[in-house]
Amino acid sequence: MDNELFENLRLELRRGSLTLAVLAQLKTELYGYALRKALESHGLAIDENTLYPLLRRLESQGLLVSHWREEEKRNKRFYRLSPQGEIILYRLLNEHEAMNAALDRILAPIPAPQPTENGFEPAVLEPKEQLQ
């Protein structure tokens, strides 16, 4: 139950970040598989069943443009950020930065969970710290 809940929340948390990462990565033109590899090399693995529908959605929203081109004897669909996508990415990055800064301020006083015999135990804050 806890795992399922965590997994749902994790997916929710990742959803917005993935869109941002895909848009940012497509400042340079890439095809689907290469994009997946590029994101993975940065530590952001993305399931292909998530990536391709996302690419299509972003393209239909006008944030990406794509075209088919032959490379290494195979037809590949290359994506890159559209002019509108660049503006949106800029705004999203600002939003992301503001949110990160806010989160940093909120999370600052919270110490990391301590490992115990039963796994990780959430750290208990002193009342003073909670009020900060």
Residues that bind other proteins (CB under 8 A): 31-33, 36, 48-50, 52-53, 56, 68, 74-77
48 vs 129, beta carbon nearer other proteins: 48
Shortest approach of other proteins to residue 68 CB, angstroms? 8
- Residue 22 or 31: which CB sits closer to other proteins? 31
- Measured from the CB of residue 18, what is the shortest distance to other proteins in angstroms? 14
Complex with other proteins: residue 33 or 90, whichever CB lies closer? 33
Residue 69 region by backbone torsions, left for phi larger than 0, else alpha for psi between -120 and 50, else beta: beta
Q: What CA–CA distance (Å, rounded) separates 7 from 63?
A: 28
Amino acid at 91: R
Nearest approach, Cβ of residue 93 and other proteins (Å)? 27
Cα 66 to Cα 29: distance, rounded to the nearest angstrom: 9
d(CA 128, CA 42) in angstroms, rounded, equals 38
